[in-house]
Amino acid sequence: MTIIDGMLWLVALGSLGVLVFLAYRKIPQLSIVDPMSSKEARTRETKRTLLEDRMRRQVEEKGKAFWKLSVLPGVKMIQEAFRRLAGKLTALERRYVEHQRKGKIDKKELLAMLDEAKASIVNERFDLAEKELIAIVTHDPKNIDAYETLGRMYLTQGQYTEAKEALEFLVTLAPKDASVLAALGEVFDAQHDAKSAYPYYEKAKNISPNNPKYLDFFIEAAIDIGEYDEAQQALDHLREVNPENQKIEDLQKIITEKETK
């Protein structure tokens, strides 16, 4: 390595270090309340946490890209990469501030934003969908559909921590929403934690007892944790409400085999 190459490495490392330091210094400034002061404050704290997580991911992702560029020769390329990264982080923070300062958006516009977010998910434009969904909950902190969509999007991407955080908070807003409870069960299921998924599936099933999907989830979780009597009762009910379900015989075979062991 030549002296010039060594200097380029130092410039790259220093620039990245300054950027990360400045970005993380700004994150605490986004906090606007004591998160434990009230239910409304905890709602805002949850939104702030989602935005912080997003900002941290931006730092990590863009930082990796910057690192790759920084090993290439030329001070000019390093400077351009640094400006692009700094500009994107600044734009992200500016959007957050704008969301905080902007007046309320009417329900019609929020619905349109939600439709756009869902369309972005279908088209696998997850970053764009995340921006829209966070903007929605910023303006409407009790928008159940937006939180559930965000949680399910994180789930499909394998971001289980973020999915769990969004959906657990949503359960506090909608403790009797079967879809929300089942979604949280799916997060634990995806992590092969049937024991934690089971009570959420059970609650979803009890709220909506004739829903084949929730019965199916509950039966499989019950089998996984050895609750064969509960699984059999739910399967018998599934036969009544959804007799054409092709999984019934397979589930019955599994339960019978487990019980005879």
Over residues 88-112, the pLDDT tens digits come to 444 444 554 555 545 567 888 899 9
pLDDT of residue 260: 82
Is residue 131 located within the same domain as residue 183? Answer: no
pLDDT top residue among 248 and 2: 248
Do 8 and 79 belong together in one domain?
yes
Q: What's this model's pTM, rounded to 2 decimal places?
A: 0.63
User: Are 93 and 54 within 8 A, CB to CB?
Assistant: no
Q: Are residues 127 and 213 in the same domain?
A: no
Looking at the fold, whether 89 and 127 belong to one and the same domain comes out as: no
Which residue range forms the structural domain that includes residue 9?
1-101
User: Do 57 and 146 belong to one domain?
Assistant: no
Q: Are 160 and 108 in the same domain?
A: yes
- CA–CA separation, 147 and 137 (whole Å): 7
Same domain, yes or no, for 255 and 216?
yes
Question: Which pLDDT tens digit goes with each residue over 109-118?
Answer: 899 999 999 9
Confidence of residue 180 (pLDDT cuts 50, 70, 90): very high
Q: How far apart are CA 245 and CA 249, in angstroms?
A: 9
Question: In one letter, which amino acid is 162?
Answer: E
Comparing 170 with 17, the larger pLDDT belongs to: 170
Domain boundary among 115, 150, 170: 170
- Give the chain's domain count: 3
Q: Is the pLDDT of residue 240 over 60?
A: yes
**For the ranges 28-42, 99-113, 237-251, which has the lowest average pLDDT?**
28-42
Please check whether residues 166 and 247 belong to one and the same domain.
no
> Of 170, 197, 223, which marks where a domain is finished?
170
CATH number for position 153: 1.25.40.10
Do residues 1 and 81 both lie within one domain? yes
Co-location of 95 and 108 in the same domain = no
Say if residue 119 is in the same domain as residue 97. no
Beta-carbon contacts of 33 under 8 Å, excluding residues fewer than 6 positions away, are 41, 44, 45
